[in-house]
Amino acid sequence: MNIIDSLLKSYADFAQVPWDNSVAGPQRVWMVVYPPEQERRLRMRIGDFEIASRDAGHDWRLVDVTDSFGHWLGGHEYRDAYFEEPADIAPALEDFAAYLADQVRSQLAAEDVDDDTVVAVIGLGSLLGLGRVSRLIETVSGDIRGRLVAFFPGEVEGTNYRLLGARDGWNYLAVAITATEG
């Protein structure tokens, strides 16, 4: 069985477990952790994760943040100046973090999203150097009604997550779902 098949099986098994809707937002986060080199294979199979969610009785909403930075920058009034002097964008990245959180939050708050809905976020690798996955999750965790599933290209050791193998990982109390789940 390849890595994505194993990951899908782990996810499908986990999605079948009854949800405790009395838990706080941060406890409603599932981190689907996979090797970064599997990104394209995972994207090709994202529909299978939706099917696994629906088979477990849960609705599904997908949020792709891959192009979020480009959309944000394209609409920014100082975009031309940032292209001329890229280092000047650093202070504006706080605005990007808020833009990104609003993008995810709008899906979490959609009318058809309820306590039995999986809101899945893909494209988190595109945030490396621009924003932090930990900050995004912490910012939106209070708005999670069902489950937030973060497809995370990186690694996890215990509760320490490292995006794309970067040195600066973070501790987060989310449920890690990996291809090696038993």
> d(Cα 172, Cα 67) in Å, to the nearest integer?
25
Residue-level pLDDT at 157: 82
CB 3 within 8 A of CB 34: yes
Number of H helices, E strands in the chain: 7, 7
Q: What is the value of pTM for the model shown?
A: 0.92
Tens place of pLDDT per residue across the chain (182 aa)? 799 999 999 999 999 999 998 998 889 999 999 999 999 999 999 999 999 999 999 999 999 999 999 999 988 888 788 888 888 888 889 999 999 999 999 999 999 999 999 999 999 999 988 988 989 999 999 999 999 999 999 998 877 788 887 765 666 778 889 998 54
Residue-level pLDDT at 182: 44
Residue-level pLDDT at 148: 97
Please report which residue ranges of 68-92 form alpha helices under DSSP H: 68-74, 79-84
- HEC per residue, 21-50: CCCCHHHHEEEEEECHHHHHHHHHCHHHHH
